[in-house]
């Protein structure tokens, strides 16, 4: 029975499947079906070729497919044959041409062999001549190289010698360098067999060098003499000349001397013009117009000299920028250049210092000269004449300044003013302190080194403060103790305030404070004594301080009995009720609130201490005061509390 599947088709049996697999047609079909055409490149190419002529899929075309393919293959082969016939004809033609060329070359080779045999002697002679020619050419090249290395060309000799009418050629230094090189290279010849040639060439180059350096020196000397303008034009050729003259130090020094002389003349003329004529077109104005103002007059001259010195140093450095001169030589030249302006400057500053009497102006001039002395010294050095001149003027102004201070101090002591009724400062003291402030302000603003500034401060204080204090002491000599203490305190306090804002015054401030403290002690003592006298306790306090038991019972002594003590304590209570009522009039005249409070505070402490001693003495039963509580009803602590 045959089985049926879900589709109704019969399933072949195993025997049928075996018969089908042995069928050739079945195998071919299976093989075709199993073939992957997309992976078979040859099949794909064949199918593409077939598609070019197999256009109709019919029974007839399928049956004639083999014959069509064979016919097509036959036609293609015929086309190949026709194409190769043409190639064969061309190859035959090429063969014939190559054959003829070979025969021609063979003929030429035979002819060359015959000619070579006939011209062998001529070739040998030619080869020998060529060898000799090469040797001669090599000798000529060596001779040319020797002459090129050890001799100058005619145009180079012309550049080196020049003429009197023409200046220095720009290639002069190249030729001079070449002469030096040839002279040095001759040393190599002296170590070979060519010593005679080396000596002759060296002697010739030496003469050339001397002649060139002589011409270079004359030209440089003339150019340096012409540099007399306000702003000299130092062109590169002149700098190169200075560099070349380094090989002749003597000639270089002479040239620099000529330059220094020319620039000295120019700077002197420039200073005179600046003093009398001013700048181009009258701007800036002539310095002499400000001669009535010492600070501006001297300051303008110093500023001009500083600028001139800096400019001259820059010009000189530009001139010898390619050289390696000795620094001392540079300073020497700069000193020579600026030496000419020393006398005109010194004469004018001397006149200013001799005519000026104001200590403040003299101090400002001194600081100005010190500043420019340090500035000019950095440019020209210590040994330059201008540096020394500015230093001398600074020293002179310093002396004149302190002479003015000493003169002022002498005037203070010659005519001493009496203290005013309010015990304040006198007009002389105010003027002196204002002078001191102005001078110290100038000193503080100066740019001199700290050591010099400190020394100047110390000297100024000695010249002003000491005479001022001495004047105050002389002025206060006719006053009583309290007035003297108050007056001196005010004077010293004002002096201390004048110094407090400046540097280098600490030691002097400490000394003044010690003097104020001494005067304050006097005021405190007088204030305490004044209070004790007003409340009738001065005699009591003095008696207690000097009492000894051998003197007998103190309560029976005069002025120490109970009624007298009670009366004094009653007045003391009135003082405790209004402490300000017993302040010394001189204390209210003190200018310093701090000092006033200090006097009041310390005097109150002394009063409290005196009361404490009186209280303890009266409370002592051994002293015979049975009613001590009625005499001293207040304890010392209560008194301190009331007065604090």
d(CA 465, CA 427): 16
pLDDT > 70? residue 164: no
The encoded tokens of residue 37 equal 């055409």
| Three-state DSSP class for residue 183 | helix
Q: Among the listed ranges 16-20, 46-50, 64-68, 574-578, which one has the minimum average pLDDT value?
A: 16-20
Contact between 72 and 53 under an 8 Å Cβ cutoff? The reply is yes
pLDDT > 80? residue 272: yes
Give this prediction's pTM.
0.64
The dihedral built from the CA positions of residue 274, 279, 282 and 285, taken in this order, carries a sign that is negative
d(CA 226, CA 365): 38
Name the CA dihedral angle for 607, 608, 611, 613, rounded to a multiple of 10 degrees: -110
Q: Specify the pLDDT at position 210.
A: 81
CA angle (118 as vertex; 113, 122 as ends), nearest 5:
115
The encoded tokens of residue 490 equal 């005010």
Mean pLDDT of the chain: 83
d(CA 65, CA 49): 13
pLDDT > 90? residue 152: no
Rg over CA atoms, the chain: 63
d(CA 261, CA 580): 84
Q: For 464-518, what is each residue's pLDDT tens digit?
A: 898 999 999 998 888 899 999 999 999 999 999 998 888 888 888 899 999 999 9
CA angle (84 as vertex; 82, 89 as ends), nearest 5:
100
What b/e sequence results for 358-387 when a residue is b if at least 16 CB atoms lie within 10 Å of its CB, and e otherwise?
Answer: ebbbbbbbbbbbbbbbbbbbebbbeebbbb
Q: Which residues, including other chains, have CB under 8 Å from residue 274's CB and lie 6 or more apart?
A: 286, 287, 304
Q: Specify the pLDDT at position 5.
A: 38
Q: Specify the pLDDT at position 30.
A: 80
Average pLDDT score over residue span 181-193: 67
Residue 298: other Cβ atoms inside 10 A: 26
Give the residue, 54 or 403, on which the prediction is more confident: 403
Q: How confident is the model at residue 20 (pLDDT cuts 50, 70, 90)?
A: low
Contact between 249 and 205 under an 8 Å Cβ cutoff? The reply is no
d(CA 354, CA 348): 10
d(CA 444, CA 547): 60
d(CA 390, CA 366): 10
Name the CA dihedral angle for 177, 178, 181, 182, rounded to a multiple of 10 degrees: -150
pLDDT > 70? residue 448: no
What is the total residue count of the chain?
644
Q: For 428-447, what is each residue's pLDDT tens digit?
A: 999 999 998 888 888 777 76
Q: Specify the pLDDT at position 6.
A: 39
The encoded tokens of residue 518 equal 């001494």
CA angle (601 as vertex; 600, 607 as ends), nearest 5:
85
Q: Specify the pLDDT at position 375.
A: 92
Q: Specify the pLDDT at position 323.
A: 84
Q: Specify the pLDDT at position 2.
A: 38
Contact between 179 and 160 under an 8 Å Cβ cutoff? The reply is yes
Q: Specify the pLDDT at position 11.
A: 45
Average pLDDT score over residue span 252-280: 90
* Percent of the chain whose predicted confidence (pLDDT) is above 70: 88
State the burial class of residue 289 (Cβ atoms within 10 Å of its Cβ: 0-12, 13-18, 19+). middle
Spacing of C-alpha 569 from chain mean position:
78
d(CA 205, CA 159): 15
Q: For 359-377, what is each residue's pLDDT tens digit?
A: 889 989 998 999 999 999 9
Q: How confident is the model at residue 193 (pLDDT cuts 50, 70, 90)?
A: low
Residue 63: other Cβ atoms inside 10 A: 9
Q: Among the listed ranges 40-49, 220-229, 274-283, which one has the minimum average pLDDT value?
A: 40-49
d(CA 467, CA 429): 10
Spacing of C-alpha 325 from chain mean position:
26
**Interaxial angle between packed helices 506-534 and 481-499, expressed in degrees from 0 to 180 and rounded to the nearest 10:** 150
d(CA 423, CA 65): 154
| Run of H or E including 152 | none
What single string gives the DSSP state of each residue in 536-588? Answer: T-HHHHHHHHH--GGG--GGGSTT-SHHHHHHHHHHHHHHHH-GGGG--HHHH
Q: For 234-260, what is each residue's pLDDT tens digit?
A: 888 888 888 888 888 888 888 999 999
């Amino acid at each position: 029975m045959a089985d049926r599947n879900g589709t109704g088709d019969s399933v072949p049996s195993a025997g049928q499947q075996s018969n089908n697999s042995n069928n050739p047609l079945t195998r071919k079909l299976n093989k075709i079906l199993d073939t992957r055409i997309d992976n078979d490149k040859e099949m794909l190419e064949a199918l593409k070729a077939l598609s070019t002529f197999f256009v109709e899929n019919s029974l007839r075309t399928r049956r004639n497919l083999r014959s069509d393919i064979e016919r097509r293959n036959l036609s293609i082969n015929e086309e190949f044959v026709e194409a190769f016939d043409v190639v064969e004809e061309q190859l035959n033609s090429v063969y014939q041409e190559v054959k003829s060329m070979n025969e021609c070359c063979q003929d030429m080779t035979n002819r060359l062999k015959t000619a070579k045999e006939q011209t062998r002697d001529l070739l040998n002679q030619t080869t020998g001549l060529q060898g000799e020619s090469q040797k001669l050419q090599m000798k000529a090249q060596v001779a040319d190289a020797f002459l090129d290395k050890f001799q100058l060309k005619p145009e180079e000799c012309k550049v080196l010698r020049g003429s009197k009418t023409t200046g220095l050629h720009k290639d002069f230094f190249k030729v001079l360098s070449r002469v030096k090189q040839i002279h040095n290279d001759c040393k190599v010849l002296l170590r070979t067999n060519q010593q005679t040639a080396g000596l002759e060439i060296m002697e010739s180059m030496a003469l050339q060098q001397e002649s060139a350096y002589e011409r270079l020196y004359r030209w440089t000397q003339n150019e340096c003499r012409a540099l007399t303008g306000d702003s000299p034009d130092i062109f590169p050729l002149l700098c190169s000349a200075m560099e070349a003259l380094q090989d002749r130090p003597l000639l270089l020094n002479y040239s620099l001397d000529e330059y220094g002389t020319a620039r000295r003349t120019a700077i002197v003329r420039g200073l005179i013009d600046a003093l009398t004529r001013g700048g181009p077109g009258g701007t800036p104005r002539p310095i002499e117009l400000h001669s009535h103002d010492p600070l501006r007059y001297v300051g303008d001259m110093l500023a001009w000299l500083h600028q001139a010195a800096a400019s001259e140093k820059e010009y000189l450095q530009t001139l010898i920028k390619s050289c390696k001169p000795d620094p001392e030589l540079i300073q020497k030249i700069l000193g020579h250049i600026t030496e000419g302006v020393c006398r005109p400057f010194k004469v004018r500053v001397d006149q200013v210092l001799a005519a000026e009497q104001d200590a403040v102006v003299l101090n400002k001039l001194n600081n100005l000269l010190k500043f420019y002395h340090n500035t000019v010294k950095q440019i020209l050095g210590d040994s330059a004449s201008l540096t020394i001149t500015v230093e001398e003027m600074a020293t002179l102004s310093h002396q004149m300044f302190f002479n003015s201070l000493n003169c002022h101090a002498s005037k203070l002591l010659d005519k001493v003013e009496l203290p005013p009724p309010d015990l304040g400062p006198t007009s002389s003291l105010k003027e002196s302190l204002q002078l001191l402030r102005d001078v110290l302000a100038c000193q503080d603003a100066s740019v001199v080194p700290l050591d010099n500034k400190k020394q100047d401060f110390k000297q100024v204080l000695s010249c002003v403060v000491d005479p001022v204090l001495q004047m105050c002491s002389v002025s206060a000599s006719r006053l009583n103790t309290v007035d003297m203490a108050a007056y001196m305190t005010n004077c010293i306090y004002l002096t201390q305030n004048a110094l407090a804002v400046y540097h280098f015054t600490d030691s002097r401030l400490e000394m003044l404070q010690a003097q104020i403290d001494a005067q304050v002690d006097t005021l405190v003592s007088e204030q305490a004594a004044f209070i004790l006298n007003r409340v009738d306790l001065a005699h009591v306090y003095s008696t207690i301080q000097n009492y000894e038991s051998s003197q007998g019972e103190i309560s029976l002594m005069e002025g120490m009995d109970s009624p007298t003590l009670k009366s004094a304590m009653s007045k003391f209570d009135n003082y405790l009720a209004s402490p300000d009522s017993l302040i010394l009039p001189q204390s209210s005249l003190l200018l310093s609130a701090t000092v006033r409070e200090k006097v009041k505070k310390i005097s109150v402490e002394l009063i409290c201490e005196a009361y404490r001693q009186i209280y303890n003495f009266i409370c002592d039963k051994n002293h015979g005061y049975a009613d001590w509580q009625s005499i001293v009803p207040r304890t010392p602590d209560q008194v301190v509390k009331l007065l604090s």
